[in-house]
Amino acid sequence: MSELLSRITIDPEVCHGKPAIRHLRYPVESMLEYLAAGDTFEDLLKEFSELERDDLLACLEFAAQSLKLKSQHLVLA
């Protein structure tokens, strides 16, 4: 496992078992949604003071690795 991915944790007691950052209540999914909506790393680091740049990089790495594991089928309208 990469050093970045070690920042992503899955705990049934945190965020209903969804992947989160360092056992904190910051779901990977939410951080990716913020980034997809146009927020920058700097925006998120200001808004969520407990986060570090490597946490956000870990979210991106987690998403990239997740896509490699599964076949994704999107219906584009």
What CATH topology corresponds to 5-69? Answer: Arc Repressor Mutant, subunit A (1.10.10)
Low-confidence ranges of the chain (pLDDT < 70): 1, 70-77
Predicted confidence at residue 70, as pLDDT, reads: 66
Compute φ and ψ for 54, nearest 5 degrees: -65, -25
Give the whole-angstrom CA distance, residue 8 versus residue 27: 9
Tell me the torsion sign for CA atoms 41, 2, 28, 59: positive
Total count of residues recorded for the chain: 77
Give the whole-angstrom CA distance, residue 22 versus residue 70: 24
pTM: 0.86
Q: What DSSP state is assigned to residue 14?
A: S
Give the whole-angstrom CA distance, residue 14 versus residue 20: 8
Predicted confidence at residue 2, as pLDDT, reads: 82
Predicted confidence at residue 3, as pLDDT, reads: 93
